Chains A and B, each alone.
Chain A
């Protein structure tokens, strides 16, 4: 592999020193403290103002006055709400000062204290923690929606919710899970650890990094507001023409997802630029942590797929507000246009979820097997292969949608091909475990469970990539079980592996191990008891997104629902452990509790604001466990000729 540029010799001018003759300006006083509260206040005010402006614009527009729809007002409300939110955080002052010709600067303090978590801060570690709490919050809300769905399915007839409410619950659950879990790994762990893992002081574009996070809470809140507008009937895919006909809740779905699309694009650009340009000296491509490779591949997908999502949702917005006909066949459009564009984003999105998970588990396995990662280059090839192929499979979602039948074999083949690079990851995992000195810590247990769950998810995917069997199983609970095995069984298990592995480093506090193991076993057992029977339910003909089903399936569904509630209970154990360990017990964690070679564990806990006193000099790969005479992964105080901490590859 090509070696990274080795930055040497020339001493870099001290970053913190002003140029000669430049005087340091005196302290400024901010007129008001801008934080999440001011953001919320201005966001709510912005919505009211935008709604009023939108309703004035809509006057005289036939499409808006002929019905009781007020989509323009709702969209304008959301636009103004987000503008107010960002204004309330202080995001707009910098762009305005740049317009006035002031030079670029990082004015946000990278300081201490809990207040920094509630305001605009450009410290990547603070942003990682902000992401962690936000993602967890929305993950639990989405999980609660899942419980509501299973409660309805305790009986074969409508009981708790009517059909429309049930569909909205399904849509909220799916959309929130998808958009929040897109950020689940890259948000907390990517932002927090990628700069440290590559020996950099910060991300390439810290202000954009902060912006990418601060778009997530309004997206989540706007999506939740769909309930107030009557929900949306389309599920997470937002298919037209149903979306064109839906009520105001659909606007919330479209706007929230578009915001996430913007955030994902920014994250992708930022992560890619960081990894490409800010690697420490000696961090060649073949020494890069496998987690960083996972982030890199995911970022490629985000940069190329998320803009298409944004454009697709822009088309949907225009259809709903100014009566264009992108997705209306009767007026020269086509709903299949939406399907194609949507899945051009949607299928890479699946790998946006999976690839960081691959990275986490392959990062963890060598640590707890005390062996080098088996087939490092194979793992990289697998991730790159998945990245490339993921753009060539999207039409398998349309096998039964009336697509040109001549296209089916191609997409069947590409979909089946993608199992090969995915299989590489399994080979890496199993090869690493082989004859290792395995320690069954909680992160390791979650990583092992990832493999067993994802195996079932992957193998069941074969039935869906194959046209004849897909025709039978499409739209059934078989599909539902499949993607829950890949996303919940895969990504979410990897997410929890990451939490137990890295959160002690992030917080400096240890988890209660007994509660953590209780969480793992509860989650593992009840996850499988919840979703394995749903393969059978699907094969027995139970359709997705319908709150009623054949009475003969009630026993199976009751079993699944009770398992799901117990799965939810296991999440409660996690929350209890989190609160107990981080707030009540507060047992300090060692700086390197797992005896990892990872660079992130070589820095002190808590990680200093600037990460490193000097730019580290990377001396060897991060997985040389059990290798005799392996040098330390990095020299943290390299000779004077190496540049100071500022990153760079």
Chain B
């Protein structure tokens, strides 16, 4: 058995809130940059292979993704962004019902977009061997799904945190009051950076892979 581990207060041992908030802001911007560069590699692949059209096999005629799923996916992403914006504008100390409604709706729309990406990959009528376009299509969607999953994970933790704080606040009538999560506002703002970067990248992918 391991030795006893002293369990400290959740608020102990962290930096002062203003430093943590600044860290989150900077970290989110950097994470969004990394996220963008990872997906831009696929955008480069798209432009490069399309221009090169090796062996005339960039995009054989039968290679056509299901456009309806693509439209639904981008609609879900936009709805996710709008719902989050709605919540963010009502985010005070993290316990406001308006914030929770917006964040939960954003989470639901985001998960729906994720599900549609998986559905698209599962139902495409062309195989992975069907040329450069098919490769980029599959690769972009796979990596995008992974990135979206990570962003939605962060969103879920904020929603869960908010619900936790709400439960605490309700219980406060009979028990001690926990301080509101001081970082909810900066965490919400920081998440907005990566979420909107992800949505923008999704829109870019949609234009390249479904529209052009």
Contact = CB atoms under 8 A, between A and B. Distances in A.
Interface of A: 12-13, 15-34, 95, 98-107, 109, 201-202, 204-205, 265, 268-270, 272-273, 276-278, 303-308, 310-312, 314-315, 318-319, 322-326, 329-334, 336-337, 340-341, 344, 643, 646-648
Given A269-B34, A307-B34, A340-B48, A204 B23 contact: yes
A28 B5 contact: yes
Contact of B33 (A31, A304, A311, A314): A304
Contacts of A27: 4-7
A332 B133 contact: yes
A337 B178 contact: no
Contacts of A270: 27
A332 B7 contact: no
Contact of A105 (B10, B153, B164): B10
Contacts of B135: 315, 318-319, 324-326, 332-333
B171 interface: no
A273 B26 contact: yes
Contact of B31 (A16, A31, A99, A269): A269
A316 to B, nearest CB: 10
Interface in B74-112: none
Nearest to B31: A269
B198 interface: no
A15 B54 contact: no
Given A18-B11, A105-B10, 11 more contacts: A15-B12, A16-B12, A31-B1, A32-B2, A101-B157, A102-B161, A109-B5, A278-B23, A325-B129, A330-B54, A332-B57
B125 interface: no
Contacts of B8: 24-25, 105-107
13 contacts: A12-B18, A18-B11, A22-B9, A32-B2, A105-B8, A105-B11, A265-B34, A272-B26, A276-B26, A303-B34, A315-B45, A334-B49, A643-B16
B139 A314 contact: yes
Nearest to A326: B135
B1 A646 contact: no
Interface string B21-38: 011001100110111011
Given A32-B2, A330-B54, A332-B57, A99 B13 contact: no
A21 B176 contact: yes
B204 interface: no
Contacts, number: 246
A189 to B, nearest CB: 21
B5 A318 contact: no
B1 to A, nearest CB: 7
B58 interface: yes
Contacts of B18: 12, 648
A458 B115 CA distance: 52
Name A's interface SS. loop
A332 B53 contact: yes
Q: Which 6 A-B residue pairings sit nearest by Cβ, starting from the closest?
A: A101-B164, A332-B57, A33-B2, A332-B131, A311-B41, A101-B160
Given A28-B7, A332-B58, A648 B15 contact: yes
Interface string B172-186: 000011110101000
B52 interface: yes
Contact of B176 (A16, A22, A326): A22
A16 B13 contact: yes
B67 interface: no
B139 A103 contact: no
A307 B41 contact: yes
B139 A33 contact: no
Given A102-B10, A109-B6, A330-B54, A205 B161 contact: no
A565 B23 CA distance: 48
A26 B45 contact: no
A22 B182 CA distance: 14
B39 interface: yes
B174 to A, nearest CB: 14
B134 interface: yes
B188 to A, nearest CB: 14
Count chain A CB atoms within 10 A of each CB in B4, B26, B39 and give the residue with the most: B26
A351 B133 CA distance: 33
Count chain A CB atoms within 10 A of each CB in B58, B132, B142 and give the residue with the most: B132
Contacts of A315: 41-42, 45, 135, 139
